[in-house]
Amino acid sequence: MTTLADPVPGGRPGDVERATALSAELTGRGVHGIVLAYVDTAGIGRVKTIPTAKLASAAAWGVGMSPVFDTFLANDSVVSTDVLGSPDGDLRLYPDLDHLVVLSGQPGWAWAPVDRVTQEGERHPGCGRTLLRRIVADAAQRHGISFQAGIEIEWAVGQGSALGDDFVPAVSGPAYGATRQVELSDCTAELMAALAAQGVDVDQLHPEYAAGQFEISVGALDPVAAADRSVLVRQTIRAVSQRHGLKVSFAPAVFAEGVGNGGHVHLSAWREGRNLHSGGEGRYGMTAEAESFAAGLLAHLPALTAVTAPSPASYLRLKPSQWAGVFTAWGRETRESAVRVITGTAGRREQAANLEVKPVDLAANPYLALGCLVAAGLDGLESSAALPDEITGDPARFGAEEAASRGVRRLPTSLDEAVEEFRKDELLRAALGPVLADAVIAVRLGEIAAVAGLDDGQVAAAYRWKY
């Protein structure tokens, strides 16, 4: 007979005692259930929920969920690889108690990201969260470097129930317009309150460019926490909006034409409390290591798009001159190159300097995206890669010859091209490990097949309400 006090196969020491105390506290706070959340390879958020009283059991033994979701597509059909996609087998979801949050946006619920572990208590090679933690730990060990990351969130607010397919913007008025702010005043105020109560430090919220579009940016955290936060913030935006009779789409392209929803990533590398993107001898105060890190990102970006822009709909967004950053170029405060060097304002550079990577959207699994971005940057850093010249203005103005002479490449224009680049990129495949690398390829090919024969409008519609 085992008890909850027996050694835990997949959980962390001390978690059972903690979870026991926590579940009593949560019950006292009116929390009835806990959402256990992760993101699959296709970028779909998947969950199980447990009653609050089962938290200690979940901390001890995990909660069962099939590994088959690693090769689920956005439309819930399944593809397979050599090791994934089988209807057999099971995994255990272990809530990370350090990141458990009472959901203000969903009264009666708490939320926790999970690590996925085998029934034997071993790391599941398909778990993106575990992978990101290892990539970050490895960087700390090998280079003494830690990272700060933040994922911007853009979304479109539509009218009506989640069942209708069409998108009817819930707000009117111009981009960045005061009218929209007023129209969504109650909902956004409640959102701010919910996020604050959930410990999310919001930097800004504003009406964005596209129809019904808003954007929120939040403070930077270590990469695993930043990815968790991205999932939590979206859950909260959706929940608060729904309470106001609104539905939201984080899809890369709500419509085939026009500006889409990005999920720009802000990333900075630090050593012993010092920001490597500030106070250095390189351009705009970058250290040599930060320049090489940026060069690594640029070099791997064509392949990275298979992870950071993983949906057929991502390529409706990734178009020139729409601030999505579709060229392998960098510049200070540029909005059309893939990598924007942000120096921060004078007086705040040491805290604020970072790199913004733009060809990322919210169909991306944030754990895999951050893991691959860090791996790509570190590849540049390790090889002391040279950062090319800065590009100012919109690279779309270059003819083919000038672009080639400046080393500027257009990023993949389709998911097929992105997969081809990814297949060739041994570094990224190794960073993900064979199981996840194969899953990425199989799932992307599955998505491509799922939209074969559809026109752009149909592709946008197919993914409009998936993310």
Ligand X SMILES: NC(=O)CC[C@H](N)C(=O)O
The verdict on 154 binding ligand X (CB under 6 A) reads yes
The verdict on 259 binding ligand X (CB under 6 A) reads yes
Q: Are 261 and 361 in contact (CB under 8 A)?
A: yes
The verdict on 93 binding ligand X (CB under 6 A) reads no
- Report the alpha-carbon distance of residue 349 to residue 355 in Å, rounded: 12
Residues 96 to 125 in contact with ligand X, rule: CB under 6 A: none
Nearest approach, Cβ of 321 to ligand X (angstroms)?
A: 11
Burial of 29 (0-12, 13-18, 19+ CB in 10 A): exposed
Q: Which residues pair with 275 in a beta bridge?
A: 270
Of these, 260, 296, 302, 395, which contacts ligand X (CB under 6 A)?
260
Nearer to ligand X, 321 or 458 (CB): 321
Nearest approach, Cβ of 100 to ligand X (angstroms)?
A: 31
The verdict on 310 binding ligand X (CB under 6 A) reads no
Q: In the chain, what is the straight-line distance between the N-terminal and C-terminal CA atoms, in Å?
A: 43
| Cβ-based neighbours of 435, under 8 Å, separated by 6 or more | 70, 81, 83, 84, 125, 126
User: Would you call 150 helix, strand, or coil by DSSP?
Assistant: strand
- Report the alpha-carbon distance of residue 251 to residue 463 in Å, rounded: 6
Residues 192 to 231 in contact with ligand X, rule: CB under 6 A: 208-209
- Report the alpha-carbon distance of residue 232 to residue 194 in Å, rounded: 11
- Which two structure tokens, joined as six digits, stand for 360? 């990322």
Nearer to ligand X, 19 or 306 (CB): 306
User: Would you call 410 helix, strand, or coil by DSSP?
Assistant: strand
Interface segment toward ligand X; rule CB under 6 A; list 51-59, 156-164, 316-324, 362-370 = 316-324
Residues 325 to 344 in contact with ligand X, rule: CB under 6 A: 335
The verdict on 358 binding ligand X (CB under 6 A) reads yes
Of these, 9, 320, 323, 427, which contacts ligand X (CB under 6 A)?
323
Nearest approach, Cβ of 362 to ligand X (angstroms)?
A: 10
- The number of C-alpha atoms within 13 Å of 246 and in the hemisphere containing its C-beta is 24
Nearest approach, Cβ of 358 to ligand X (angstroms)?
A: 6
- Report the alpha-carbon distance of residue 437 to residue 107 in Å, rounded: 38
Nearest approach, Cβ of 213 to ligand X (angstroms)?
A: 7
- By beta carbon distance, the residue nearest ligand X is 262
Nearer to ligand X, 67 or 263 (CB): 263
Find the DSSP H helices in 184-251: 185-197, 223-243
Nearest approach, Cβ of 177 to ligand X (angstroms)?
A: 14
Nearest approach, Cβ of 359 to ligand X (angstroms)?
A: 8
The amino acid present at 256, given as its one-letter code, is A
Nearest approach, Cβ of 230 to ligand X (angstroms)?
A: 15
Of these, 37, 103, 304, 324, which contacts ligand X (CB under 6 A)?
324
Of these, 262, 312, 377, 412, which contacts ligand X (CB under 6 A)?
262
Task: Look at residues 322, 160, 136 and name the one whose alpha carbon lies nearest to residue 222.
Answer: 136
Conformational region of residue 76, where left means phi above 0, alpha means psi within -120 to 50, and beta covers everything else: left
Q: Are 372 and 308 in contact (CB under 8 A)?
A: yes
The verdict on 357 binding ligand X (CB under 6 A) reads no
Nearer to ligand X, 69 or 315 (CB): 315
Positions touching ligand X (CB under 6 A) are 154, 208-209, 259-260, 262, 317, 323-324, 335, 358
